[in-house]
Homo-oligomer: A and B are copies of this chain.
Amino acid sequence: MADAATTVAELKDVVRRFVDERAWQRFHAPKNLAMGLAVETSELMEHFLWIDGPASWEVIKQPGKRESIADELADVFCYLLNLSMALDIDLSDALNAKMIKNALKYPADQYRGKFTV
A interface residues with partner B (beta carbon < 8 Å) = 1-12, 14-15, 18, 21-24, 26-27, 29-32, 34-39, 41-54, 56-57, 59-60, 66, 69-71, 73-78, 80-81, 83-84, 86-87, 89-99, 101-103, 106, 108, 111-113, 115
The 18 listed contacts between A and B (C-beta, < 8 Å) are A1-B96, A2-B90, A3-B93, A5-B7, A8-B8, A10-B92, A29-B57, A32-B50, A32-B53, A34-B47, A36-B49, A38-B41, A42-B42, A42-B43, A69-B89, A73-B89, A78-B95, A81-B95
Copies in the complex: 4
- Contacts A30-B60, A113-B22 hold; do A9 and B4 have CB atoms under 8 A apart? yes
